[in-house]
Amino acid sequence: MLCPRSLILDRVLKSAVSFSCRKYSVGQISQQGKVPDMAEVRNRLREIVGASTNWQDHQQVLVERASLSQYLARSQDQLPPKRMKDSMIEAHLPLGSQPALREKYLNSHNSVRFGRILEDLDCLGVLICYSHTWNEELKRSPLSIVTALVDKIDMRQNIIYPDCDIKFTGHVTWVGKTSIEATMHMSQYQDGAYTDVLDATFVMVARDPENKRAAFVNPLKPEGPEEEAIFHQGEVNKTRRVELSTASLLKVAPTAEERTLIHNLFLNTLDTRRVSFRGRILLPNSVWMEDAKLKGLEICHPEERNIFNRIFGGFLMRKAYELGRANACVFAGCRPTVVAVDDILFRKPVEIGSLLLLSSQVCYTEGMYVQVRVHSEVLDPLTRQHNTTNVFHFTFCLEKDVPAVIPQSYGESMLYLDGKRHFDGTMRNHC
């Protein structure tokens, strides 16, 4: 069932589609009269920033881009306000009409690799932000727009067919001083009509051409009550994100109710034959959190670079998703389907050549659902220093009830509670 915001968004996006068909030129982002496919979206992004097509040239391109700093606005007031329509985009992934594309998107269950969809959403989200900030007088954008956060992705349909065309639509829904919220919608052509598949909300941040400091973006001017409501929801999202971050278990103690829950889990697993706080036994149909982990290593080759010569955020999401899904599958012994993705935070860019350590943990389960957290960090092989770059949260639904996952240490208990908070938030959204 669509939530009220999705309904409003759906209506605006539908009007966006008719807008894009009527006059398909979004700030010269797309060719007149033609709906781009995902390959064209990527090419257009490269053109907008003048990205190198050859890794050997990337230093030269960096120097060229640095000279664009002169075109940055000194304040947001210098930039003309833009309408939601200015960033509205429709793009196609023609899996049905171009069979050659399917191989890249296919998984072994004859469904679509969701990690590939995450990559496409990331590219489209960035293109939407470039459409919003487009200055017709410049050949290249002086802004480096990076993904800061995936606020949420809600699945409306669990199966994505590998042989039916996919349509993405989206536009800017909220703007701060240097950050932009882009909301996207994906649907798939089945039985003569497009059916909703997912809604996604990303937050992008504009940086200077060298990606060193924040840069101002055009204000957004909502038109009419529907757009006002969408913009207001963007404000609400921002406030919620700040509140969530303030209440993070890394900063403050759990609530009284959460403490009771953890203590009950502890009491339930105490070995009553021993008068000891250390004697723990596992209840039937339960797994220690320690045994619900799966890890991986990625070597970050230039092939995975983005238009700013750092590792592409979509690639990081795909790798984290695939590891998290594999972990849910091993844990439950059956096939998981993704229900929601939320609160993916891109804390630091990942440099080309990095050793990226990915660590996934089943941190909470309920009925047929599994909540997985994937933590990624860069390891400097020379200093052996670890730096967290991302944290990902995925909710999966399994084909049967799954075992309970039980924390032993205090740190694991906090992971458990954090997982429960994410799971509860996801379920609230789906009701």
Ligand X SMILES: CCCCCC(=O)SCCNC(=O)CCNC(=O)[C@H](O)C(C)(C)COP(=O)(O)OP(=O)(O)OC[C@H]1O[C@@H](n2cnc3c(N)ncnc32)[C@H](O)[C@@H]1OP(=O)(O)O
| Binding positions for ligand X, rule: CB under 6 A | 45, 122-123, 126, 146-149, 176-179, 203, 205, 207, 214, 241, 306-307, 310, 312-313, 345-349
Give the span between the Cα atoms of 209 and 63, in whole angstroms. 10
Q: Which residue is nearest to ligand X (CB)?
A: 176
Q: Which residue, 181, 118, 64, 169, is CA-closest to 341?
A: 118
Nearest CB to ligand X, comparing residues 148 and 323: 148
Q: C-beta of 183: minimal distance to ligand X in Å? A: 14
Tell the smallest beta-carbon distance from residue 431 to ligand X (Å): 25
Looking at beta carbons only, is 76 or 111 nearer to ligand X? 76
Exposed, middle or buried: residue 333 (CB in 10 Å: 0-12, 13-18, 19+)? exposed
Q: Looking at beta carbons only, is 52 or 365 nearer to ligand X?
A: 52
Q: 287 vs 357, which CB is nearer to ligand X?
A: 357
Measured from the CB atom, the residue of 179 and 218 that comes closer to ligand X is 179
Q: Of 210, 246, 189, whose CA–CA distance to 349 is shortest?
A: 210
Q: Which is nearer to ligand X, 210 or 226 (CB)?
A: 210
Question: Which candidate, 311, 337, 305, places its Cα nearest to that of 324?
Answer: 337
User: Which token pair is 124?
Assistant: 């489209």
State in angstroms the smallest separation of the CB of 5 from ligand X.
Answer: 18
Q: How far apart are CA 342 and CA 427, in angstroms?
A: 12
Minimal distance, residue 242 CB to ligand X, in Å: 9
**Alpha-carbon distance 153 to 117, whole Å?**
11
Do the bridges between strand 166-175 and strand 193-207 make them parallel or antiparallel, or are there none, so unpaired? unpaired
Nearest-approach distance from CB 206 to ligand X, in angstroms: 8
- Nearest-approach distance from CB 359 to ligand X, in angstroms: 19
Minimum CB distance to ligand X smaller for 356 or for 370: 356
**Least distance between ligand X and beta carbon 108 (Å):** 27
Give the single-character DSSP code of 112. B
CB of 35 to ligand X, least distance (A): 19
How far apart (Å, rounded) are the C-alpha atoms in residues 327 and 296? 11
Classify strands 286-288 and 404-406 as parallel, antiparallel or unpaired.
parallel
Radius of gyration from C-alpha coordinates of the chain: 22
Select 79 or 329, whichever has its Cβ closest to ligand X.
79
Q: Is 420 left (phi over 0), alpha (psi -120 to 50) or beta?
A: alpha
Element (DSSP H or E) covering residue 195: strand 193-207
